[in-house]
């Protein structure tokens, strides 16, 4: 990949001093209009882009005033302003960890609501730029929405999770494949031999489910052929479908995306966890008490800030040609739902 054009590259091509280029790109009246236009055209041809943070630093040195506290945008598009907050759903909250990490880098992370009444993508982008915001972090998308239309070339951008599908940005997420892999390994080591997989609630990102299933199916190869169970039908399934599948396959452990529905369905069948069947909840939370793989949401938010700040310092904007994925691997958290099986 060719290196980005520098201010010196533009100056060499224009046969002027670097300071002349800097003034021309800022439309300084000291530089004749014809020279300004010529330098701007050369800069555009070479692909030179001014780094806003370097520009702010230079302005601070010239004026003797400190650079204003830089802001990053945490962008959400839920139907309500705070629909992305945990009290409205059971998904991880990446925001607090991102806020703290941003502070350590000297930035303020602010929430911006894209679904503001009367808001358009163009106006939204203008507001961010006017407020000096050049880095955006895209929060979890609302159910059923997987695309966002912004002037991406104006910003450095990172997405949280895997709910944003268009465009494909750099993103930070949980290692979902390893989650199911660890769960199956724990079940095997504890003596479970007939482990089933249940999509008990709809998932807001199909790619997450595909990674869970990939690990589950691969790990099943470690079990005897007679013990390899078919998936419980439905994404998500329902009580009647689950009941028919459970009676037919007699699992001794379950990998479930959400525990609450399955516990209710098992109760209807006269079964309980862990007495009759073990269970691992793939969307684990510390408060549940269930066995599962735990992810510290604050770490994911922190990693997203680190990636975003790096992009900004390199003046890396727009939709990336090769999106990077940073995955945090979780830790097995002992719970009450997958004890060692008594034979």
Task: Give 183-214 pLDDT, tens digit per residue.
Answer: 999 999 999 999 999 999 887 777 899 999 99
Quote the CA–CA distance of 281 and 287 in Å, as a whole number. 12
58-112, pLDDT tens digit by residue?
Answer: 554 555 554 444 889 999 999 999 988 877 676 788 999 999 999 888 889 999 9
272-296, pLDDT tens digit by residue?
Answer: 999 999 999 998 666 778 999 999 9
Strands 107-113 and 135-138: unpaired
Higher pLDDT among residues 336 and 49, named by residue: 336
Give CATH superfamily name and number for 70-174+297-330: Response regulator (3.40.50.2300)
Q: Where in the chain is the domain with CATH 3.40.50.2300?
A: 70-174+297-330, 176-294
Q: What is the mean pLDDT of residues 208-233?
A: 95
Quick one: tokens of 232? Answer: 């419980």
Strands (E) across the chain are located at 70-76, 107-113, 135-138, 156-160, 170-174, 195-198, 253-256, 278-281, 292-294, 325-328, 331-333
3-state secondary structure 122-182: HHHHHHHHHCCCCEEEECCCCCCCCECCCCHHHCEEEEECCCCCECCCEEEEECHHHHHHH
At residue 253, the pLDDT reads 98
As a CATH number, domain 176-294 is 3.40.50.2300
Which pTM value belongs to this model?
A: 0.77
Nearest to 301 by CA among 30, 77, 98, 11: 98
Across all residues in the chain, what is the average pLDDT?
89
- Whether 29 shows a pLDDT value over 80: the answer reads yes
Residues 6+ apart with CB under 8 A from 11: 17, 18, 20, 21
Quote the CA–CA distance of 311 and 156 in Å, as a whole number. 6
Quote the CA–CA distance of 213 and 235 in Å, as a whole number. 12
Nearest to 332 by CA among 161, 179, 212, 175: 179
- Whether 1 shows a pLDDT value over 90: the answer reads no
Task: Give the bridge partners for 258, in sequence order.
Answer: none
Q: 154 exposed, middle or buried (CB, 10 Å; 0-12, 13-18, 19+)?
A: middle
- The answer to whether 301 and 160 are in contact (CB under 8 A) is yes
- The answer to whether 152 and 141 are in contact (CB under 8 A) is no
Cβ of 223: how many Cβ atoms within 10 Å? 17
Considering all CA atoms of the chain, what is the largest pairwise distance in Å, rounded to the nearest integer?
Answer: 88
Nearest to 229 by CA among 187, 260, 271: 187
């Amino acid at each position: 990949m060719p290196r980005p054009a520098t201010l010196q590259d533009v100056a060499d091509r224009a046969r002027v001093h670097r300071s002349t280029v800097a003034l021309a790109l800022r439309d300084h009246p000291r530089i004749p209009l014809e020279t300004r236009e010529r330098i701007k055209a050369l800069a555009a041809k070479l692909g030179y882009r001014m780094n806003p943070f370097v520009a702010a630093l230079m302005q601070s040195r010239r004026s003797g005033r400190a650079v204003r506290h830089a802001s990053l945008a945490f962008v959400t598009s839920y139907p309500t302003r705070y629909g992305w907050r945990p009290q409205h759903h059971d998904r991880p909250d990446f925001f607090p960890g991102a806020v703290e990490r941003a502070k350590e880098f000297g930035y303020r992370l602010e929430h911006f609501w894209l679904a503001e009444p009367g808001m358009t993508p163009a106006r939204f982008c203008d507001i961010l730029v006017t407020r000096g915001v050049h880095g955006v972090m895209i929060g979890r998308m609302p159910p059923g929405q997987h695309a966002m239309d912004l002037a991406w070339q104006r910003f450095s951008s990172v997405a949280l999770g895997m709910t944003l599908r268009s465009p494909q940005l750099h993103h930070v997420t949980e290692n979902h494949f390893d989650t199911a892999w660890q769960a199956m390994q724990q079940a095997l080591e504890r003596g479970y031999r007939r482990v089933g997989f249940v999509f008990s609630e709809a998932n807001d990102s199909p790619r997450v489910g595909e990674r869970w299933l990939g690990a589950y199916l691969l790990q099943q190869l470690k079990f005897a052929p007679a013990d390899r169970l078919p998936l419980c039908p439905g994404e998500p399934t329902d009580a009647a479908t689950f009941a028919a599948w459970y009676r037919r396959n007699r699992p001794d452990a379950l990998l479930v995306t959400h525990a609450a529905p399955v516990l209710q369905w098992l109760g209807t069948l006269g079964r309980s966890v862990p007495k009759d069947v073990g269970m691992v909840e793939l969307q684990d939370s510390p408060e549940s008490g269930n066995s599962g793989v735990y992810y510290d949401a604050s770490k994911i938010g922190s990693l997203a800030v680190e990636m975003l700040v790096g992009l900004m310092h390199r003046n890396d904007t727009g939709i990336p040609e090769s999106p990077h994925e940073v995955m945090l691997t979780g830790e097995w958290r002992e719970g009450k739902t997958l004890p060692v099986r008594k034979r």
